[in-house]
Structure formats: structure tokens, C-alpha cells
Amino acid sequence: MGMTRTPPVDTHEACALLADKTKLTLLLHLAVEERCVSALTYDLNLPQATVSHHLGILVREGLVARRQAGRYAFFSLASDEPLGDDTLMSIATRTGSIPIRQRVRGT
């Protein structure tokens, strides 16, 4: 199955979305690798409904792509999203929000 996404938001709208800590944390985890909801729920220690809600907004706004594989949905950064990996990692470094896996990898 293909990826699902809408046209990307402009940079101003993307920054407004990043003001939400949960959405920013999800984007940082997805900058490391594609993830399913259950993995993100475990990593963020949040209820599944909360993770799904925020992912739905990020998909609808064009920052995150969704790929269906059987009964599982996998999420990744949209390839055409206005804030690239470098920008997200710069934000993460300044806010101390780098996901554990990224810190271990040393980047």
C-alpha cells in the first residue's frame, strides 16, 4: 500500500504545530526512523489514543506520512515537509528533546 499524506503546511503553520510538546516529540522520534503507533506509545509513555490523535493531525497537516502494512500503520516524516531533519535536530538540541536512540547514536 502507498503512503498517505496531504500537501505540506507552510513553515509558519509547521512552527505552530511544533509549539505542542507531544507533536514535537513525535516528529523527533520519526526523524530517527519510521515507527508504528504501539512503538511510539511505548517510547513516549502516552496512551494510544493520545498518540493516534496527534499523529492524525500531523498527517493531515502534511508533516508526517502514513503507510499501511496489513493491520499496522507506520509513520515517518513526510519527504516534502517544510522542516527538514537538520531543523528538527537543531530544535531538539536546543530544547533537550532528543530521543534516546538519537542520543545514543551520537548525532
Residue for grid cell 500503520: 73
pLDDT reported for residue 69: 94
Q: Give the Å distances, CA to CA, from 40 to 28, 36, 50, 52, 92.
A: 11, 6, 11, 9, 17
Q: What is the pLDDT of residue 98?
A: 53
- In whole angstroms, give the CA distance from residue 69 to residue 87: 29
88: Cβ–Cβ under 8 A, 6 or more apart, which residues? 27, 28, 31, 77
What pTM, to 2 d.p., does this model score?
A: 0.69
The predicted structure's pLDDT at residue 79: 74
User: 91 and 18 in contact (C-beta within 8 Å)?
Assistant: yes
Q: Spell out the per-residue pLDDT of the chain, length 107, in tens.
A: 455 544 445 666 767 777 888 998 998 889 888 999 999 999 999 999 999 999 999 999 888 999 999 999 999 988 755 555 565 555 555 555 555 444 433 43
CA 94 to CA 77: how far, in whole Å?
A: 20
